[in-house]
Structure 1
Amino acid sequence: MKILASLAAISLILCAPAVYAEADPATNTSSGWYVSSQSVKKHNFDVWQLNSGYSYSVAPNLQLYLSTSLYSGNETVEPTRGLTSGIKYGITPRVSIESAVTTSLSSTPEDIQNDEKVASPVSFEVSSRFHITENVNVHATYDYESVEQQYILGIGYRF
């Protein structure tokens, strides 16, 4: 847990100057630090996910990335921290596919007082994205975890 928290803190500190570069692997094909956030729809609007990490362009249309994740919690969902590694391939400038492996760690307030951690299962994700315009995209995701599987279809808007 301390290692994940340290990685998240280091990533956030190092990312601060590069936030405006927007090297998020979901939206860009350049190498660099990135920070992104989104609401987690399966747990209502009041649960948020914050990602920070580094993406590296192996080729003009192929990226590898490593990121840390922090999920806020609410009265029904425990806060978690995670580590994600993945690959993104740009088929065309408007169409991309991506796969990722994520591990996470969650703790209840009682676990934190007792310095105990609960490892969550590893999840696998495959997604595709089609950019209709520079700011609007359509995406489809399949997320597999041992306790649940999800299909997500959505429309994204980039500010």
Structure 2
Amino acid sequence: MTQPAGVAAPIATFFAAVGFAALAICGFGFTSLVTDTDVIAAPGLGQGAGIAAMLLAAGAFAGAEYGAVRRGRYPAAVWVMIATVAGYLAGIVLGGVLTGADAALALGAAGTFSLSWFALVLAVNAAAASWAGIALGRTRARRPEWPWERSDEDE
């Protein structure tokens, strides 16, 4: 019996999305520590903008990553990165407006974020996690087996 090649696209996408979220949150924390700045530095914007931004970025990442894993081409990681950053910027604006902040303040915060080190961290993390998800989908590896578990066909 032959096994299908690679990991299923939904599973590879799930692992890549979880890895992306973890890397992004950790990267934001370390960048904030090193630069001594806030991720979204806009007084009066509130936490809703950051929460919405991360949720939209993760959703954009997962949606774009699913297509990238199904295609199995590594250059698609660039499109996943672009979609993720765009999702994060849209999340800042949408989250800010939904929590009652002024639309101009939310839009300014998104612009400030897009020119910060945090945007670079987000983009690099999205590209790296996307590449890893595509690689997981393309792998031909199988689960580990003891010698006595192998069938005669594998030898």
Return the TM-score normalized by structure 1: 0.28
Q: Which has the higher helix share?
A: 2
Return the TM-score normalized by structure 2: 0.28
Structure number with higher relative contact order (C-alpha < 8 Å, ≥ 6 residues apart): 2
Q: Which has the higher strand share?
A: 1
Structure 1 or 2, whichever has the larger Rg, is 2
